[in-house]
Structure 1
Amino acid sequence: MHASTVRNLLVRGMLAGLIAGLFAFGVAYAIGEPSVDGSIAVEEAQAAHEAPHAGHGGAAHEEAAEEEEVVSRSVQSTAGLATGVLVYGVALGGIASLAFSFALGRVGRFSPRATAALTAAGAFTTVYLVPFLKYPATPPAVGNPDTISKRTTLFFLMILLSVLLGIAAIIIGRRLAPRLGNWNATLAAGAGFIAVVAVAFVFLPANDDAVKAGFPAALLWEFRVASLAIQAVLWAVFGILFGALAQRLLAPRAADAKTEAEQPTPAVA
């Protein structure tokens, strides 16, 4: 694939990621922010309950918390949320478009639209779903602040492991295809991926202190479902939009190349 084509796909991927980020922001604001507000209310209620027993120390903690809040909650839930989600969408859209450029024609004889859908589904599964199943998201101020570094490291380690296992599954599936056929090779590679991920789930340490004792289970469930929905919408919209853009970019070139190849070679006098 020519460098100019890759560059055009990168631009389209970032554009698709931006639009997908807008949809994800709508979902985050509609169903994600209420659970965040609820978790903050729970934290404030617990702090208010502990303050009378803390004496002057509790008052000092409250004053320090007020001073640390440089950005208001209303700005965080609107402009701040939009900025974060849109930047996230553009970045992932660019990375996914580069992965698409590598995968096109290498994972099967799929059209650009189908390859984009497979790329988006694979990215969602390996980058978010698998790590989420092991280390699910938690609302702000819910976990132990002393272990946040450990929890972040484990989460990114799970992302790296999931992505590497996904790439290995694709390579193994391609090598098994000539002997087993495409369908059976895909099933075998997928089963191997699930089996190794299950082993990793067993041996990797758990985040037992990720959620404080007494935190409402229903609120935690709502937050995690909202987090999953945001990512699902982001990748679904990206896969659809980028697939359409890539199809429009690449299909005419493929048709022109096919037509040129089918033209008879002029006879030499």
Structure 2
Amino acid sequence: MMRSLLVRGMLAGLVAGVLATLFAYFFGEPSVETAIGLEGTAAHSHHDAGAQDPAAHDPAAHEPAPAEGEEEELVTRGVQSTVGLLTGVGLYGVAVGGLFSLAFAFVYGRLGTLRPRVTAALLAGGAFVVVFLVPFLKYPANPPAVGQAGTIGSRTSLYFGFVALSLLIGILAAAFGRKLADKLGAWRGGLIAAGGYVVLIAVAAALLPSIDEVPAEFPGSTLWTFRLASVGTQVVLWTVLGLAFGALSEKALTEKSLVRKDA
């Protein structure tokens, strides 16, 4: 049965990844293109400013020199925004779908007598908040031309470290809430667990360093559109994953239940 749920989770993740790709293409790519254009304009302006420098009259200045950080484009922007986007988000959806099915198998039946569809929907909503939304609020995504090249490693480590911390606190809060539900009821136990998660993650977010590398001249509308599209892409991904997996898993679990009854 576990293998069956895993396959269904990966299939649901693939469907979610394709739909999330479509959303990202139509709503996210325009802001990415704008940011790339701004980056190119800034680099061109910097080059023109350098041409006005007195050192430009030095004979040695006429010798061609490679631009700093400039690399030959191996994959065109058109491929990146279509096939590359679909491949990246699609594989991400499949991987998340597989992990989601494992989490579903663990929590199913431990949340009372909820149907598989409801369990999958609640799990998807909780995972969206814990895995994406909370880390995003602390370390939001930035478009191209935002961020310093020398801090990529530290920024990545901080982000994924916060994701892991949020996930750990979320799991502990869920386990604690489950025990409280037996004593205080599901509603009170759930509220206390959610409150505990909020308090602990707020303290962790306050202790971790903040990152603000957005240039003052970068258009706020482009930054807002990009981040809004990033959130929307994840909303589509987790919503479709929860609904699709819920439908597929309910069918499988219903068939298994009928087989047991017939036996």
TM-score by length of 2: 0.91
Q: CA deviation at 1:255?
A: 4.0
SS in structure 1 of the partner of residue 131 of structure 2: helix
RMSD: 1.7
Counterpart Cα distance in 1 of 2:217 and 2:253: 55
Question: Could you say which residue in structure 2 is the equivalent of 1:19?
Answer: 15
Q: CA deviation at 1:109?
A: 2.0
* Residue pair 1:39, 1:139 contacting (<8 A) in 2 also: yes
SS in structure 2 of the partner of residue 214 of structure 1: coil
Question: Could you say which residue in structure 2 is the equivalent of 1:204?
Answer: 208
- The alignment status of 1:235 with 2:231, answered yes or no, reads no
Structure 1 residue ranges without an equivalent (≥5): 261-269
Give aligned-pair identity as a percent: 51
Structure 1 residues 29-40: aligned runs within 5 Å: 29-40=25-36
SS in structure 2 of the partner of residue 106 of structure 1: coil
Question: Could you say which residue in structure 2 is the equivalent of 1:9?
Answer: 5
* Residue pair 1:17, 1:91 contacting (<8 A) in 2 also: yes
Counterpart Cα distance in 2 of 1:259 and 1:99: 29
Amino acid of the structure 1 residue aligned with 2:5: L
- The alignment status of 1:132 with 2:128, answered yes or no, reads no
1:114 pairs, out of 108, 114, 118, with 118
* Residue pair 2:181, 2:188 contacting (<8 A) in 1 also: yes
* Residue pair 1:107, 1:170 contacting (<8 A) in 2 also: no
2:197 pairs, out of 193, 198, 209, with 193
Structure 1 residues 1-269: aligned runs within 5 Å: 5-55=1-51, 60-62=65-67, 65=70, 67-209=71-213, 211-257=214-260
Equivalent pairs, count: 253
Amino acid of the structure 1 residue aligned with 2:29: E
Q: CA deviation at 1:259?
A: 6.4
* Residue pair 2:130, 2:167 contacting (<8 A) in 1 also: yes
SS in structure 2 of the partner of residue 215 of structure 1: coil
Structure 2 residue ranges without an equivalent (≥5): 52-60
Deviating more after overlay: 194-203 vs 241-250: 194-203
Amino acid of the structure 2 residue aligned with 1:84: G
Q: Deviations over 1:110-140 (max 9, x none)?
A: 1111111112112111111110010000002
SS in structure 2 of the partner of residue 68 of structure 1: coil
Residues 60 and 92 of structure 1: is their aligned pair in 2 closer, same or farther, counting only changes over 3 Å? farther
TM-score by length of 1: 0.90
